[in-house]
Chain A
Amino acid sequence: MLEIKNLSKNFGGFVALSDINLKVEPGERLGLIGPNGSGKTTLINCISGTIQNYTGEVQFNGETLNDLKAYQRARMGIARSFQIPKPFKSMTIKQNLLVPLEYAVQDNNLGPHGLDGEADRILDLLGLADKANDISSNLTQIEMRKLELARAMAVKPKLLISDEAMAGLSSNEVDDILKILVELNETTKITIIMIEHIMRAVMSFSERVICLDAGEIIANATPQEVIKEPAVERAYLGE
């Protein structure tokens, strides 16, 4: 479904990603871990198109994405949340969801509830229904993270990338979000890439985990195997 070939990205002299090769299968739940500054978000930016001038190739369902802008990639079914929440702050929570529903989703893919109904359904799923008409700039950080995820879900994606959606959430809330994501993955068969620092979450969620360090993939295996990998331990804890 997603195939990344020889992807590299430099910021001036700093190598953010170096020769990344990665394949993600349809319906897969993939965890992406790595210390701060290891290139996780840069990789997501290259996939979603917010960074365009990388070398190498990103393919989605066999088509190259290299010449496509971020909005075109969203319309093909790639959605992401942002690590630092970027809500449309002049809008209500529900209006935030109407943007992707109107712009990224084809009319015939809206489902039986229509535009409004679909927005309500997603808000309900994430426990934001009673705040639907609140202005999003008044939300707490935690609610903003939920909104990030809700808005990405409103793209009705085939590939959902969640960039630290759970940071700061309580243990119960983490469980709630995990349940939603697993359900979403099992019922609609969408592929999910999860970047997360909460190990408990990413390990229980993922079928496969990739660990990045200094722009390179240092581990690519099942969660149980990755956690035992000496290179991963070194990356997190040092020598």
Chain B
Amino acid sequence: MKARRDTRFYLIIAAVLILSYLVTTAMTNQYYFFAGFAILQFIVMALAWNILGGYVGYVNFGSAAFFGMGAYAAIVALQLFNASLFTQIVIGGLFSALLGFLTGYLTLRLRGVYFAIATLALLVVSETLIANFDYVGGAAGTYILPTRKPTILGVLIVGKQDAVFGNYKELLFFIMSFITLAAIATCSFIEKSKFGRGLAALRDNEEAAECMGVPTLKLKLIATTLSGLFMGVTGGIFPYYLTFVDPTSAFNLDISINALAMPIIGGTATWLGPVLGAIVLGTMQQVATVTISSELNVLIVGIFLVAIVLFAPNGFLGLIDKFLKRGN
């Protein structure tokens, strides 16, 4: 029964991935890929934040540090050995995973607000470091020009004719869909696994968890590493998306706030919460940017956050739960 449900879940994931490719061949308005990419990016950041914030209960204010470092690790790889897009994403992910591991090792003895402040400090330090690192453009930032006619095993990936994707926006959208689905699959796996139960135990009571045989430090380190990995991967693809990166945009506090607000608004209990939160907030932000002004984004997040904290402490998921129970 359980195995069959798992298979069905992964089949749906595969189907959505195929669908996202079909969309790139069918749709011509490029703006949708640009906006869709941004929302997918929010989803992954929210899911990654939730691995540590939701499952383990450690509030990370420095998500932008892991995102930005992922982006800059990708740029260094590009500068050093002209790395391909794929390599850049992998390197961005690995670098931020390592950063997650180290941050975890140094800060996980801190609890509550002290941990939050430490992660915020990490963000400030990271931004300052990169702003003074001339090799990647320093404070002025740097441009990334997409490779002309990239191929894999002789197959043209991006090109106007006879290529898998018509242009870079479509390719990036497809890759981001893949990353998003991988993040969802990972989170869903964690929730059902022994590892996830260990995380929940240590979130509920660290001392009791330890006395029940849960190796709390090890589990927390795996969680920070995984969380860093997904944030870094999202950062690794970012330079190609905007073709220009500077420390202010890559380490923007808005990234941290969104990564934290979206899971809280959606609900932190399961992967569905961050996904819902990111879709609703992300879409509203995109619409607001186009129709009113980009400055409105933060206001939307703020209003939602206040409303959710006041009226639905368990987020959208909690609301849905309540609604279903009333229905019964």
Instruction: Enumerate chain A interface residues (CB-CB to B < 8 A).
Output: 48-50, 69-71, 74-75, 79-80, 82, 86-91, 95, 98-100, 102-105, 151, 154-155
Contact = CB atoms under 8 A, between A and B. Distances in A.
Contact of A104 (B200, B204, B213, B216): B213
Interface string B200-217: 110111011111111110
Contacts of B198: 99, 102-103
Contacts, number: 78
- Could you tell me the dominant secondary structure of chain B's interface residues? helix
B210 A99 contact: no
A154 B213 CA distance: 11
A98 B213 CA distance: 11
Contact of A90 (B194, B203, B214): B203
Given A71-B214, A102-B198, 17 more contacts: A50-B207, A50-B211, A71-B211, A71-B212, A87-B208, A88-B208, A91-B197, A91-B200, A91-B201, A95-B197, A99-B214, A100-B212, A100-B213, A103-B213, A151-B212, A154-B212, A155-B213
B201 A86 contact: no
What size tier do the contact residues of chain B reach?
10 to 19
Contact of B210 (A69, A90, A98, A105): A69
8 closest A-B pairs by beta carbon, nearest first, are A104-B213, A103-B213, A100-B212, A86-B208, A88-B204, A74-B213, A70-B210, A86-B205
Contacts of A50: 207, 210-211
A71 B204 contact: no
A79 B211 contact: yes
15 contacts: A50-B210, A50-B211, A69-B210, A69-B215, A79-B211, A82-B207, A82-B211, A87-B208, A88-B205, A89-B204, A99-B197, A99-B201, A102-B194, A103-B214, A103-B215
A77 B49 CA distance: 35
Interface in B180-235: 194, 197-198, 200-201, 203-205, 207-216
A178 B215 CA distance: 31
Contact of A74 (B197, B203, B212): B212
Contact of B208 (A82, A90, A102, A105): A82
